[in-house]
Structure 1
Amino acid sequence: MPPRILEPDPEFIEKSYLTVYRRYINKNYGLSLQSYYDLHEWSITKRNDFWMSLWNYLPIKASSQPRRAADESLHIDDIPEFYEGSRLNYAENILSRTGSGIAVKAFNEENLNCPEELSWDQLRERVRVFVDALKSSGIAKGDVICVVGGSTVTSLALVISAAAIGAIVACFTTDAGERVLLERIGQIRPKVLFAVPDYRYNGKLHDITSRIQMVWDTIEPAAGSELVSTGKHTPPGWTSLDKYCSRGTGRPLEFEQVPFHTPYVILFSSGTTGTPKGIVHSQGGLLVNGLKEHRLHYNHDEHAVHYHYAGIGWTLWNIMIGALFCGSQIVLYDGSPFYPSPEKQLAAVMATGVTSFGAGPRYFTELMKANVNPRPYVGKVDKIPSAGALLTEQQSIWIRDNFGAHVCQISTSGGTELCGNFIHGTQTLPVYAGENAVKNLGMDVDVFGPDGRRVPEGESGELVCKKPFPNMPVCFWNDSGRKKYRAAYFEKFPHVWTHGDFMRINPETKGLTILGRKVADAICVGQQREQDPSERLFLFLLLKDGKSLTKELEDRIKSATQRDLSRRHVPQFFFAVEQIPYNVNGKKLEIPLRAVLSEGAKAFEWRKFTAEERQALERYLPYFEVEKIGGGFKAKL
């Protein structure tokens, strides 16, 4: 049984939004649900009641009310619509709070200690100006706009503005390469592309003017389409943001009322198995799921300050900004998560007053490696959401010991396909190291064996979802008849969504462990020999039985590493190995392995190792002369 790292505070449990909601359900539906598990079971067996109760309980603004929440006769592969008859607007809900209170704090590598602050009224005005300009430029409901930029107030306001007029938006990070942008922007051919001509990362200024221009010219934009600079300067042929906004006529901000499943955000798959798929999410789906996760699972309200390191092209960024639905303040950061050093950057984030500090597992590994002590900076933090992968038991214990035993760790698992999570957490239950806590409310998640039947708790199998949910994709872009959509999720088991991950449920704790697919263990270390001008990174993978190291797996790892950390963390070499070296205390031999890669046999001349450690490390001696061996992939950066 894994170590218990958090025992929830009984007083907090009583006052939590989750407990208040459970009592609301008991009162209004004549029930006596006693626990989270009771509530979850009800949420998946009485689906119309559950989703309708959320509509009534959560602070949703709508101009037309739904006739019902869900048609329970339909299967998940029918891709049913939810909340039929309702009309609403995502932007109206995300800007529902008004006043002089702070809505957003935003900072970058140049203003680490003096972030920009926008009140709710100021954010609303920023959106009004953009909406006015978009309308004056002929952008209307159903049109596509793109944003290439950082996690900034401008990016946020543009995304909200698209929702206000019923437009569709796709966002991309500034370090996206030409091919990445061409394969995605070329599919959707936006009417306007907002882009920064340069960006700062890890203390360096990167000019991407030619990259953006090449993409814009290559996609052959339709007549009247426009390339707008959101940066400090405007390249020739581009329109400055000030000039674009000057077209506005002073219109008051109005919110286009749209049906629940109106397309809004396009998120793209990685493209490792072919052309990237444009996954289209709806205004209503992102609204209802965002409110559910932030209010009930994160317990966010007007007192919360939420930060999660993410680029605007990642689904997590869209999930993060959903905290605004709850009246919470969000913190945006544009730059390296380790600039000018891991400790100084952490201190800068914490100085904004965050109560919810989110980052991926690899981020915490980097803090551990750098021997950063977070305790002096933790301040008001009461929860640490983590996404992208499951926090390991070692990481969970380190976070508890260094951020505080009172801090609730919430490891989530979901993805681009739902712009949300199948697996979530709650501050009302104990937390166990190395486990996800609970199934997300309303998500009928299960574990199937190869025969399409549920496996017993304790055994691993396919992560599946058996019932529809409102934040399912509306469609894939350019997917006639939803053929690619159905092939992606519904071909393996009838009437069941197969997500592509393995999962196991702990019969003692009820915690969930996402097992992934191919990799059992891994170690990443650097090599810099005397003849090497700079350090190269090696990633050694211990694969599960029957699995092989493929170019597809390499690309997935590269994409995730660049997304969660940075390009400089992407390994140059990938190799499958039979053993990962550990010492007797269960710690990976990262420093000794780096010495072996950099010094060869000399690494053993003066260092002391046990016989077992030496034997494990000697397996890696051939990689000292990596140019002479094959069987791996060299990353093209």
Structure 2
Amino acid sequence: MSAGPVWRPDPDPDASIIRFTCRAEAVTGRSMADYRELWKWSVEDLEGFWGEVWEYFDVRSDNGFDRVLDDEPMPGARWFPGARLNYAEHVLRGGGDGPALIAVTEDGTTTSVDWPELRSRVAAFAGWLRGQGVGPGDRVVGYLPNAAPAVVAFLATASLGAVWSVCGQDYGADGAAARFGQLAPTVLVAADGYRFNGRVHDRRAAAARLRDLLPTLRATVLVDHVGTSGDPTMVPWAEAVATPAPPAFERVDFDAPLWVLFSSGTTGAPKGIVHGHGGVLLEHLKLMGLHNDLRPGERFFWYTTTNWMMWNLVVSGLLVDATVVLYDGSPVFPGPDRLWRLAEEHRVSVLGVSPGYLLACAKAGVEPSALDLGALRVVGSTGAPLPVSCYSWVSEHVGPSVQLVSTSGGTDVVSGFAGSAPTTPVWPGEISAPMLGVALEAWDADGKPVVDEVGELVVTRPMPSMPVAFWDDPDGTRYREAYFATYPGVWRHGDWMTVTGRGGVVISGRSDSTLNRHGVRLGSADVYAVVEKLPGIREALVIGAELADGGYWMPLFVVLEDGVVLDGPLRDRITAAIRAEASPRHVPDDVIAVPGIPHTRTGKKLEVPVKRLLQGVPVERALDRGAVDDPALLDFYARLARNPASGAAES
């Protein structure tokens, strides 16, 4: 750890969070000299804080609202009862005449959609959907890459008060149907294919099969994204947006469903997480406007696919009149600097990547500082804990004036629990602070808050974007069991977290994949931070598996760089590094070279499912194959469970 922060705030007095703080001080008579004081007010006075967010961002609704928070106990908190609003109306009410969307494909094709054109396309597609009988509460689903039609289709659906869900085309038809089939959708919007790693992936056959697997569909629309021939049994996208229509927005209850996001499906059938119009609107206005300080016309680019909640968050950049950059392609094609070059080309102000991408750039010797990144002020990172080494790398190789913002949140709240703001310093290895309005604590097994000790990540007071419900969970049983079974009335997220003495946050990994060796716990992220920076190691997966005979097996699986062999000296370097830099009690029992690490389709390592496979659980019971980026790897780990010694031989 360094002696001080790697980045110190020097906030612009015109930053939204500064102006918001001044307003809050005037309204409350309370001094809020720094971010910590602002955060304390935001969680002690939920009604005052969220009411001020409503006023500051000029949220529009029919007849206002009765009160901010009518019923606080979780689950079941009722926010802004009586308010009727529409998320899409707020997205499309501003923006001026400049670009709203800049869509880039892997081959370099770039399309700009200005604000008037976006409004026109959304209104036209909404009119077409209305002609198919789509209305409030009906479901429209997308099988689409990260491109402009996905944004248009979503906003049109939301404008009608209908419910949206989307997944990327790296899912097979059966995997997509396992999600969409639960929703009984009325309309499917699918693309003819997508681009990735130098290849065009034709998905017309998968789209046709998906349509056949969804018997409730009234129509299917086909987007010409990669230039293949059309399908006469589907409505061309160009036709569906061709007829002008007046813009119209169906205002709905604050907690009316906006979209359904599906869990990864890594522990059974994917569960549909329902979020409401109002909760998403307020949470994303806070995140984009106050934490990211996005301003009208600034360029916002976060590398994501439509599978991940970050896609939904990216669209919300439009709420504050920023220009959103969409990219369909690999982040490392034709080279590892691709995202930095896109940031240069499009004058991006806020760039979002993953810890894995930053590590890969460091290993490859990428030098973003050699590019013209004068517009860049924030590099965001989420999806996994951010290794300490990345903090100094960004400062030294991107620029000391660029704020590295590590964030932790989840699909469950489609937002963040902890992150940064223009007024928070950045310390190596830490997330700067809990986010505004998030009553975040680390709890021990007795339900008591701890500081400078690892505990369970909990949220003790409600957030507006907590799920409205799970789909097809009429009595709320699955919802309660998912978050409130451990500490009744308190949200337990399933992450190990440390709150530092200075108020920062350190995420140690999932609590259900903790390495518990001889009663001493360690997060898997601590092992990855050591191993994945070693030369010759592309990626690692560590598992602590309790076995039927009472034993405990802790293997470390490594994917090697091309031409590297896992010999005795490399094994020794790996174990020595873990012993010295992570924990001498958590040196693995075995180091095994493997052909690959299975991930969710949003890139998260499948620690718990692999652990279950190693414990002998059949693949079909351990997880949904359709949720995995490389399903064939599951059979490898299942074989390994039956014969642990086979790992090295089969790799």
Give the structure 1 partner of residue 86 of structure 2: 89
1:446 aligns with 2:441: yes
Q: Structure 1 pair 128/540, CA: closer, same or farther in 2 (3 Å)?
A: closer
Amino acid in the other structure paired with 1:239:
V
Q: How far 1:577 moved relative to its partner? A: 3.0
Return the letter of the residue paired with 1:471. S
2:404 to 405, 409, 430: 409
Q: Secondary structure at the match of 1:306?
A: strand
Are the equivalent residues in 1 in contact too, given 2:221–2:240 (CA < 8 A)?
Answer: no
SS in 2 for 1:105: strand
Residue 468 of structure 2: aligned partner: 474
User: Cα distance, 1:612 vs. partner?
Assistant: 6.4
- Which residue of the other structure, out of 68, 72, 75, is the alignment partner of 2:73? 75
Does structure 1 retain, via aligned residues, the 8 Å contact 2:34–2:423? no
The equivalent position to 2:105 in structure 1, one of 108, 113, 116, is: 108
Matched, 1:269 2:263: yes
Q: Which residue does the alignment assign to 1:140? A: 135
Cα displacement (A) at 1:344: 4.3
Residues 596 and 620, structure 1, Cα contact 8 Å, conserved in 2: no
Q: CA deviation at 1:317?
A: 1.0
Question: What root-mean-square deviation, in Å, do the aligned CA atoms of Structure 1 and Structure 2 show?
Answer: 3.3
Provide closer, same or farther for how the CA distance between residues 596 and 126 of structure 1 changes in structure 2, counting only shifts above 3 A: same
1:464 to 2:447 alignment? no
Any idea what the Cα deviations from partners look like across 1:348-385, whole Å, max 9, x if unmatched?
A: 33210101111111111111122111012222100111
- Residue 237 to residue 432, structure 1, CA distance change in 2 (3 Å): same
Contact 2:95 2:115 in 1 (8 A): yes
Measured after TM superposition, the shift of residue 120 of structure 1 is: 1.2
Alpha-carbon offset, residue 623 of structure 1: 4.9
After TM superposition, give the deviation of residue 138 of structure 1 in Å.
1.6
CA distance in 2, matches of 1:286, 1:485: 18
Give the C-alpha shift of residue 140 in structure 1: 1.2
The TM-score, its normalising length taken from structure 2, stands at 0.82
Partner of 2:38: 39
Q: Is the 8 A contact 1:192 1:228 kept in 2?
A: no
1:49-64 to 2 correspondence within 5 Å? 49-64=48-63
Residue number in structure 2 paired with 1:583: none
Cross-structure match for 2:318? 324
CA distance in 2, matches of 1:427, 1:47: 22
State the 1:225 CA deviation.
3.9
Q: Distance in 1 between matches of 2:88 and 2:37?
A: 33
Report Cα offsets for 1:16-69 as digits up to 9, x if no partner.
221211111111122222221111111111111111111111132323311211
Give the letter for the 2:241 counterpart. Answer: C
2:132–2:219 contact (8 Å) kept in structure 1: no
Task: Report if aligned partners of 1:540, 1:577 keep a CA contact under 8 Å in 2.
Answer: no
In the other structure, the counterpart of 2:611 is none
Aligned to 2:605: none
Distance 2:221 2:546 in 1: 41
1:526–1:26 Cα change, 3 Å: closer
The counterpart of 1:397, out of the listed 392, 397, 400, is: 392
1:561-611 Cα deviation digits (max 9, x unpaired): xxxxxxxxxxxxxx953699xxxxxxxx976x96223xx57x89xxx9999
2:211–2:220 Cα contact (<8 Å) kept: no
Q: Secondary structure of 2:326's match?
A: strand
Distance of aligned partners of 1:236 and 1:4 in 2 relative to their CA distance in 1, 3 Å threshold:
farther
- The question of 1:596 aligning with 2:561 is answered no
Deviations 1:525-557 (A, max 9, x none): 9999xxxxxxxx9854344xxx3289xxxxxxx
Cα distance in structure 2, aligned partners of 1:427 and 1:499: 26
Say whether residues 1:577 and 2:576 are aligned partners.
no
Looking at structure 2, the residues matched to 181 and 610 of structure 1 have their Cα atoms a distance apart, in angstroms, of 39
Asked whether 1:419 is paired with 2:418, we answer: no
Distance 1:289 1:371, change over 3 A: same
Distance 1:334 1:458 in 2: 41
Residue equivalent to 2:509: 516
Corresponding position of 2:644: 630
1:199-214 to structure 2, matched below 5 A, reads 199-214=194-209
Is the CA contact (8 Å cut-off) linking 1:3 and 1:432 kept in structure 2? no
2:177 is matched with which residue?
A: 182
Q: Which residue of 2 aligns with 1:569?
A: none
Q: Which residue of 1 aligns with 2:615?
A: none
Give the deviation of 1:324 after TM superposition: 1.0
Q: Deviations over 1:119-141 (max 9, x none)?
A: 21111112111112111222111
Q: In structure 1, what is the equivalent of residue 147 of structure 2?
A: 152
Residues 1:221 and 1:425: Cα distance change in structure 2 (over 3 Å): same
Alignment deviations for residues 315-374 of structure 1 (CA, whole Å, 9 cap, x no partner): 111112211111111111111111111224531332101011111111111111221110
- Contact 2:452 2:500 (8 Å CA) reproduced: yes
1:177 offset after TM fit, Å? 2.3
Q: 1:623 to 1:125 in 2, by over 3 A?
A: closer
- In structure 2, the residue matched to 1:166 is 161
Cα distance, 1:9 vs structure 2: 4.5
Name the amino acid aligned to 1:595: V
Q: 1:612/1:32 Cα in 2 relative to 1: closer, same or farther (>3 Å)?
A: closer
Identity over aligned pairs, percent: 28
Q: Which residue of structure 2 aligns with residue 337 of structure 1?
A: 331
Secondary structure, aligned partner of 1:498 = strand
Contact in 2 for aligned 1:2/1:434 (Cα 8 Å): no
Contact 1:104 1:329 in 2 (8 A): yes
Deviation, structure 1 residue 255: 0.9
Q: Structure 1: any 5+ residue segments left out of the alignment? A: 529-536, 551-574, 581-588
Matches within 5 A, 1:519-598: 519=524, 520-522=526-528, 523=531, 540-543=540-543, 547-548=544-545, 576-577=554-555, 595-597=564-566
User: What pairs up with 1:220-259 in 2 under 5 angstroms?
Assistant: 220-222=215-217, 224-231=218-225, 232=227, 233-246=229-242, 248=243, 250-259=244-253
1:492 aligns with 2:492: no
Could you tell me how far apart the structure 1 residues matched to 2:271 and 2:588 are? 44
Distance in 1, matches of 2:254 and 2:555, equals 50
The within-5 A match list for 1:369-380 is 369-377=363-371, 378-380=373-375
Offset, 1:454: 1.3
SS at match of 1:395: helix
Q: How far apart are the structure 2 equivalents of 1:29 and 1:525?
A: 48
Corresponding residue of 1:130: 125
Shift in CA distance, 578/85, structure 1 to aligned 2, threshold 3 Å:
closer
Q: State the partner residue of 1:360.
A: 354
1:416 CA drift (Å): 0.5
Q: Which amino acid aligns with 2:289?
A: R
CA distance in 2 between counterparts of 1:577 and 1:384 reads 34
Q: Look up the match of 1:561.
A: none
Matches within 5 A, 1:499-510: 499-507=493-501, 509-510=502-503
CA distance in 1, matches of 2:41, 2:573: 56
**Counterpart amino acid of 1:273?**
T
Aligned residues of 2:388 and 2:428 also touching (Cα < 8 A): yes
- One-letter amino acid of the structure 1 residue matched with residue 209 of structure 2: M
Per-residue Cα deviation, 1:392-427 (whole angstroms, up to 9, x for no partner): 110111011111111111111110000001112112
CA contact (8 A) 1:40 1:442 kept: yes
Q: Secondary structure at the match of 1:117?
A: strand
**Distance change in 2, residues 1:610/1:86 (3 Å):** closer
Residues 230/139 of structure 1: CA separation in 2 closer, same or farther (3 Å cut): farther
